[in-house]
Amino acid sequence: MKNLNIDYTLVFILILLGLVSLFTLFTIEPSLPEKYDGSNFMLKQALWFIAGGIVITAVMLIDYDRFHQITWILYGIGLTSLLMLFAGFPAGIVHEANGAVSWFKFPVIGTIQPGEFMKVILVLTLAHVMVRHNTKYIEKTIKSDLGLLAKIIIISAPPMALLAVQPDLGGLLVLIAITGFMILVSGVQWRILFSIAFIVIDIVLLAIVLWYLFPGPIAVYLEESVFDHVSSRFYGWLNPQQNYDAGYQLILAMMAIGSGQLFGKGIGDMEVYVPERHTDMIFTAISEQFGFVGASLVVMLFFLLVYRLIHIALLSNDTYGSYLVTGLVGMFAYQIFQNIGMSIQLLPITGLPLPFISYGGSSTITYMLSIGIVLNVHSRTKEYMFSEARWKE
């Protein structure tokens, strides 16, 4: 790896986020419920980071162009694993938690969430299809662009549907964000994209109007459908005090963040109990201990992370590499925005971890794998003396 052009800025940002995660998990441990006694989440997360470092090294050793050869194999494995969850097979290892069937549970490894890995697999698959399509149809026409959109939708729809029925609203929204980001850079004519955007906006406005005109029947329909959890979280977000069961976690999260004020209460001083604080709600622990200043520093780190990813995507002189990084930008940007947004009541609560900070094996490995792909693209980006990017500098 001595000849690889490693982006040390991105590596440094990743190390800082890892340190924030380990330190926060260490301070959270004493305030967790008794059922987590002896769990030692900090140590486990450190082991996941080490495993993730090995994954990054392994990915860096492979030319990312080789991913073309295994794309459909990975896509098939990802869909098969989601189908196994949907069918509840094999029954011995399919695990359910908080009303969602989203995990496989193994004796030694623990729980594995296939939906997390499907995010990266979808990025690889869409990038592969977009490159092949644009190579075949050099001259853009409405027909070819609509054909590309159809391919993207056909590929994205099956994993989205399987996550929706688990139900995993957070994972579903991430896949939608990835797909949206990749469509924007796919080369499809803007007039087609604007037409689709207007249609989507009209559908959303129609849904809002119907909800205001017929709130009762729509509420009954949602409660009796697979989207029951969506409606409860939506009502809990709009008015957590009146929908206390659904808004309980949000009320506590807002209390914890607000109690931190400007500089926080201090290390380990967490008086407000927030469920799932070591996973999805870890931002509340940072805010309560270190206040607005500490939370802002974490947000700044995430801003630098996304900025660096965008820079690498623009710097790449290979279309496939740019597509890969763009899809991962969509994944990270949405998850960061959603996780922090739901903690401050800007968005409804969904089960999404905060990248690199929340505790979780599958999610951590997925993020590290993603960074490995980004570093791979950057390391193999060739800079020419008279290239446009060089002259811009």
Residue 391 resides in a domain: no
Please provide the DSSP assignment of 258-281 as one string.
HHHTTT-S-TT---S--TTTTTTT
Residue 223: the pLDDT is 67
H or E element in which residue 79 lies: helix 67-87
Scanning the structure block, which residue is given the tokens 């991430």? 174
Residue 160 resides in a domain: yes
- The answer to whether 211 touches 328, Cβ cutoff 8 Å, is no
Total residues belonging to the chain: 393
The number of domains in the chain is 1
Cα gap 381→34, rounded to integer Å: 50
Cα gap 21→18, rounded to integer Å: 5
Residue 386 resides in a domain: no
DSSP state, residue 188:
-
Q: Where are the beta strands (DSSP E) in 201-275?
A: none
Helices 142-164 and 190-213 sit at what angle, rounded to 10 degrees? 40
Residue 393: the pLDDT is 44
Residue 235: the pLDDT is 74
Residue 40 resides in a domain: yes
Residue 200 resides in a domain: yes
Task: Look up residue 271 and give its two tokens.
Answer: 């008086």
Provide the domain limits for residue 62: 8-381
Cα gap 318→267, rounded to integer Å: 46
Residue 231 resides in a domain: yes
Cα gap 39→31, rounded to integer Å: 12
Residue 392 resides in a domain: no
What is the mean pLDDT for each group of 10 consecutive residues in the chain (393 residues)?
77 95 92 81 94 94 91 95 84 77 79 91 96 89 91 95 87 93 90 89 87 75 66 75 77 89 88 87 93 95 96 92 95 94 88 91 94 93 57 42
Residue 1 resides in a domain: no
- Is it true that the peptide bond before 348 is cis, omega within 30 degrees of 0? no
